[in-house]
Structure 1
Amino acid sequence: MEALEGKALSGPHYNDWPNALGFDTHYEERSPVELRVEGTIPAYTAGTLFRTGLGPRTFKTSKETCFSVNHWFDSFSQIHRFQIHAPQANEPIRVTYNSRLTSDGLIEKIRKTGKLDGFTFAAKYDPCKSFFRKVQSVFHPNGEPKPNEINVAVTMSANFPGFSKTGERLDSPHGPGQGMTLCNKTDATMMQMLDPESLEPVGIARQTTLHPELKGLGSGAHAQSDPNTGHVFNYNLDFDRSPIYRIFRVSTSSGKTSILAKIHHSAAYLHSLFLTENYVVLCVWNSFYKAGGASILWHRNLLDAMAYDSTQPATWFVIDKRPAEEGGRGLIARYTSDAFFAFHTINAYEEPSSTSEGTVDIVADLAAFDNMDVLEHFYLDNLVSDSPKVHASNHSFGSTIRPSYRRYRLPSPSTAATKGAQAILEYTSNKEDAFELPIINPKLVTKKHRYMYGVCNTGKSTFLDELVKCDASTHTTLRWSRHGHTAGEPVFVPDPKSSEEDGGVLLSVVLDGHEGKSYLLVLDAKNMEEVGRAHVDGAIGFGFHGLFLQA
């Protein structure tokens, strides 16, 4: 075990639900270690779970100052790897674990200089200058960084088409003889390439490598992959007087990148987008950048550069998934709806239209917020359980920091106009039944789904306190919660022998705040009851998303 300097905050914890260690992590296992397994982990889960996480919150610099992260999204990136080994005859399943701080080069630069991108930080630097630092450092790097000198760890992709294992252009499919590639992504156009076993940063990839027109600085951390072809879809946002969204596809068969549509529209912070069988759907919700994004340059952070505008509608763009050379028609429809903010789409699918015979409607599910208050709520003084401010902040923030599950319908995009159509809000859940970091059975991506899973903040802690299963048909929920145990995003692993949508298990990394250590939790996805867990000998930081690869 390798430990980094530092210690967690100490003191009384809100509602006796300790979570401080999850925001200031100094535990790292560079080499795989065996984990103690309780219960029965199903054999079909054999494979590898990669999890994004965070590292140390505070550390001393050579300038006799203390650098401190003040926002959850600014945390230094660390990646975790759980390998679930296929059981041998008459032997129980084994789980091994290793991890790596993938921004250690950046931390070392800050230790030596006391600076990050030209800013000097003291023990309590201005939090407004740190928000979304991992994105800002990609926007404004000082020279060409080394692979471990960038801070990206929101989502991960295996064998991202068009990139070699070190981020160079690859004009061919990923072949079995080339080995797996692992890509670490955030809401920007620079990505970090990792060794899939040691997790060592080995390269930097850029969207301009895929296509020279992808020169904008903004993008979505949640690129969408077609479940049938593997093609990857995303957007590239070029900040300008007239901002441009370039919707693109990267082919798995050739590595070629095609621009599907160019859309001139207000620049906004968009973390994710939708994909259906035939369409890409980009919803520009109301997290607008001021001055077309130019405000980022003088604020040098994203939060101050954004403004929530409830007087403007959210705008939904529907784009043909096919490039022009394959008969694609580019932008085919545009809808508007009431204003909202979101991080995560859940799923979208097509079904026969009830209003236009012979056409289809698009049904789109997401976790939506009333405004952008949640971004302010994610300052660590509001989240860390022993922070002196948590009692006041928990009372000052209302229900707006909790999402609602929403379902929208986009009627008949093949006949809708590119202006003027209305996105219909069909359902909104109450705040108590809503969830974030949403996932579904991966077999149902782009298809009609019933069950959704995620994490909840019900107020029992300062952060997250439940895992939830939501039924989109009956609008009922099942929950898992243990006092003092903070769970991360669930990852669904289907049971190959089950024909039921909820046949499988959920994998979630949980911090036992009382013991100060984490474990990999395995829940039955049908009844949300625990079937097993694998114990880690340290605290794993609260990251964002995971990637499971079947053995």
Structure 2
Amino acid sequence: MRAGFTSLDREVVAELAVRGELPPWLSGTLVRNGPAKFESGDRSLRHWFDGQAMLHRFAFGGGRVSYRNRFLQTPSLKSLRDNGKIAFAEFATDPCRSIFARLFARSEVNVNANVNVVLGDDRDWALTETPIAVRFDPETLATVGLTDPDDTIAGQVTTAHPHVAPLTGDLVNYVLKFGRRSLYQLYRQRGATREPLATLATDRPGYLHSFAITERHVVLAIFPLVVNPLSFLLRGRPFIENYRWRPELGTRFVVFSQQDGSVVADGRTDAFFAFHHINAYDEDGRVVVDLCAYPDSSVVDALYLDRVRGNADLPLAHPTRYTVDLADGAVRSRRLADEALELPRISYRPHNGRDYRYAYGVGAHGGGRDDFLNQLVKVDVRSGRTWTWHEPGRYPGEPVFVAVPDARDEDGGVLLSVVLDSAAGRSCLLVLDAATFTELARAEVPHAIPFGFHGQFAAR
């Protein structure tokens, strides 16, 4: 699996050989994002999350698949590739500036947008956890430029997982502004205009990679991986190494009204950590929030490149349901299935923020922690039943669900996953029937694609 953490320098355009048969209705493009360059010369980035962003485009139509890949052309990539220099701070890598240089460099923004993408409606953006996105051409993947900063909702950290509000279609996200009293600032976006929705002040902000939305609410799950913002200036450490695991704080669930931004519930439960929410919905005076939950934040350290390339044990997340009572803030939890689950996806458009049945993701075959994520998983969140796809020596990525036109069943459609074949040293695009979890087809890519994070499908 080390090929998944090896730099890819090739940029190609190719028609892919297809084994099996693609559904005749499958037409559109899948664009995936992820890190693809981890070093230049003897200089190396330190963490999986630090690799320089590359987009991968798979186009489907008439039973055929074409592929192209391209780096995002950013100042951080240019410095690393052309100058052999790490000039911008990453998630866990720092240029090692002095405190005085840090003070003068505070206006610099790292635009290594290697986490996710938004497609369509003139929003073809690559996203990371800084508030400025990178625009790209959805056909050629060429970098177009940066989105304009919005000074009305300024801050340093956001999520690469904005949500579409189920009832209004607004794009919803938050920006965290560090300060003596830091502020979580929720907003909704209509076209190019951001409108403030709610704010929450905090002395010790937590690291939140994603959040939840329902038809009527927005939910922040604030894990006890927290930071004193002064640490960024005084400690001289990379971004994430300023955070501290404080389990005595517990995990805080704050539920906001989408109507007026008021806090309608604020409860705490035992400490845990998560990168990804699965889904959430309103139910009889409660909010149901499903996440991929870890017992603590040790997974962040486990994903440093020297550890993950060295076959260190990998902490596993499990699908877990947290129910927040809107009357008293009481939080209850239960595990939804025994299989590990990460990089979760659902049938998003009809079920985002609403009651649902199926979640899809990646997991660990046999519950093993001595390998990387090596199987695909489907979970029935109502019954706990699971389905898995696993082939020895193959490592699948996030499965993107694409619904069959006019689907009658929630799992009526296919899953698209980029799979690394470690023995062959190359990847393929795997197509599974989402209902039966059986293979329909695979399209062979001419090289190994480094392990990525997230992607989106746009029909045509």
TM-score by length of 2: 0.91
Identify the residue that residue 229 of structure 1 maps to in structure 2.
168
The 3 A distance-change label for structure 1 pair 330 and 454 is same
Aligned-partner Cα distance in 2 for 1:506–1:528: 9
CA contact (8 A) 2:76 2:87 kept: no
Provide the C-alpha distance between the structure 1 equivalents of 2:133 and 2:266, rounded to a whole number of angstroms: 30
Q: 1:533 aligns with which of 423, 442, 445?
A: 442
Count of residues in Structure 1 that have an aligned counterpart in Structure 2: 449
What is aligned with 1:100? Answer: 70
Corresponding position: 1:239 with 2:178: yes
CA 129–27 in structure 1, closer or farther in 2 if over 3 Å, else same: closer
Residue 211 (structure 2) pairs with residue 273 (structure 1):
yes
In structure 2, distance between residues paired with 1:452 and 1:248? 27
SS in 2 for 1:407: strand
Query: Counterparts of 2:158 and 2:331 in 1: how far apart (Å)?
Result: 24
> In the alignment, which residue of structure 1 is the partner of 2:98?
none
Q: Distance in 1 between matches of 2:52 and 2:103?
A: 16
Superposition map of 1:189-200 within 5 A: 189-200=131-142
Change in CA separation of 1:382 and 1:139 when aligned onto 2, cut-off 3 Å: farther
Selected match of 2:316 from 396, 402, 406 = 402
Match of 1:356 in 2: none
Q: CA–CA distance in 2 between the matches of 1:294 and 1:117?
A: 22
| Contact kept? 2:50, 2:92, Cα under 8 Å | no
**Aligned residue for 1:376?**
301
Question: What amino acid sits opposite 1:445 in the alignment?
Answer: N
Provide the residue aligned with 2:39 in structure 1: 58
- The alignment status of 1:452 with 2:359, answered yes or no, reads yes
Identity %: 33
**Aligned-pair distance for 1:139?**
11
Q: Secondary structure at the match of 2:248?
A: coil
Q: Does 1:155 align with 2:116?
A: yes
Aligned partners of 1:59 and 1:296: how far apart in 2? 26
What is the rounded CA distance, in whole Å, between the counterparts of 1:140 and 1:445 in structure 2? 42
Q: What's the CA shift string for 1:165-224, capped at 9, x where partnerless? A: xxxxxxxxx5xxxxx441111112121111111111111125x42xx3322101111111
CA shift, 1:502, in A, is 1.1
* In the alignment, structure 1 residue 262 sits paired with structure 2 residue 176: no
Residue 102 of structure 1: how far off its partner (Å): 1.1
Question: Is the CA contact 2:34–2:116 (under 8 Å) kept in the aligned structure 1?
Answer: no
Alignment of 1:437 with 2:332, yes or no, is: no
2:26 is matched with 45
RMSD: 2.5
Q: CA deviation at 1:103?
A: 4.3
Which residue in 2 is equivalent to 1:13?
none
Q: Cα gap change, 1:140/1:113 in structure 2, threshold over 3 Å: closer, same or farther?
A: farther
SS in 2 for 1:382: helix
Q: Which residue of 1 aligns with 2:57?
A: 81
Instruction: Decide whether the 8 Å contact of 2:76 with 2:88 is kept in 1.
Output: no
* Residues 460-499 of structure 1 mapped to structure 2, 5 A cutoff: 462-499=371-408
CA separation in 1, counterparts of 2:251 and 2:370? 32
Structure 1: how far apart are the matches of 2:108 and 2:94?
A: 21
Please show how residues 231-380 of structure 1 align to structure 2 within 5 Å: 231-252=170-191, 255-265=192-202, 266-289=204-227, 291=228, 293-298=229-234, 299-322=236-259, 328-351=260-283, 353=284, 360-380=285-305
Q: Which residue of 2 aligns with 1:11?
A: none
Q: In 1, Cα distance between the equivalents of 2:103 and 2:420? A: 33
Please say if residues 71 and 130 of structure 1, whose CA atoms lie closer than 8 Å, have aligned partners that are also in contact. no
Q: What is the one-letter code of the residue matched to 2:125?
A: C
Q: Name the amino acid aligned to 1:47.
A: G
**Structure 2 residue matching 1:492: 3-state secondary structure:** strand
Local SS of the residue matching 2:25: helix
Q: Counterpart of 1:238 in structure 2: which amino acid?
A: K
Unaligned segments of structure 1, at least 5 residues: 1-18, 61-65, 88-92, 120-126, 132-137, 160-173, 175-179, 323-327, 354-359
Cα distance change of structure 1 residues 74 and 128 upon mapping to structure 2, 3 Å threshold: closer
Equivalent residues of 1:517, 1:538 under 8 A apart: yes
**Which of these two proteins has the greater Rg computed from alpha carbons?**
1
Letter in 1 for 2:52: F
- Consecutive unaligned residues of structure 2, counting only runs of 5 or more, are 96-101
Question: Contact conserved, 2:46 with 2:93, CA < 8 A, in 1?
Answer: no
- Offset at residue 53 of structure 1 (A): 2.3
Q: Does the aligned pair in 1 maintain the 2:79–2:87 contact within 8 Å?
A: no
Q: Is the 8 A contact 1:181 1:196 kept in 2?
A: no
SS at match of 1:269: coil
Question: What per-residue deviation string (whole Å, max 9, x for no partner) do you get for residues 508-547 of structure 1?
Answer: 0011111111110000111211000111111111110010
Structure 1 residue corresponding to 2:127, chosen from 173, 185, 203: 185
Residue 215 (structure 1) aligned with residue 154 (structure 2):
yes
